[in-house]
Amino acid sequence: MYKAQGIGLAANQVDLPLQFFIVNTAGKPGEGEELVFINPVLSKSKGSEEAEEGCLSIPGLYGKVIRPKQISLTAYDLHGREVSATLDGLIARVIQHEFDHLQGVLFIDRMSEAARVKAAVTLEEFEIDFNSHRQAGQIPSDEEIAQRLMQLEQTYA
């Protein structure tokens, strides 16, 4: 996360089929606070605001996303204690972004149609690069990924 200058990372982004993510809005080790949210639940969203987002899963792509301005979060921390908070600002946006990952949603799925059209060239380049790496054997096939996921789910069941 830090190496890629990220401020949040969901478990499934690093091949873990678990419901948790980590956030540090400072984006640097030793600065800010590393917060871990296990089995998060979001509720009571209020308002809306638009801001630019990027994602470690699609490096180099940024776009405007409208999200609720305020959310309530319930989760567990690393010590098994329940955490409940009403949040707004950057921390609320990052938590919503990472929560979306756990639901299989990327920020591009939340962009307006106009923003997606604007991002189309970058997404096409990303897809070409991905397919090139896959053909070179550097990225496993969908079947291999599905098999790996089943193995991980059995391990963590």
Contact 20, 36 (CB under 8 A): yes
Domains of the chain (ranges, CATH numbers): 8-111 (3.90.45.10)
Residues 53-93 pLDDT 10s: 999 999 889 999 999 999 999 999 999 999 999 999 999 99
> What single letter denotes the amino acid at residue 7?
I
Tell me, yes or no, if 98 is annotated catalytic: yes
pTM of the model: 0.89
Q: How far apart are CA 116 and CA 63, in angstroms?
A: 8
Put residue 5 in one of left, alpha, beta given phi > 0 → left and psi -120 to 50 → alpha. Answer: left
> What single letter denotes the amino acid at residue 116?
R
pLDDT of residue 112: 87
Q: How far apart are CA 125 and CA 123, in angstroms?
A: 5
Catalytic residue among 49, 82, 98, 127: 98
What's the distance, CA 13 to chain centroid? Answer: 7
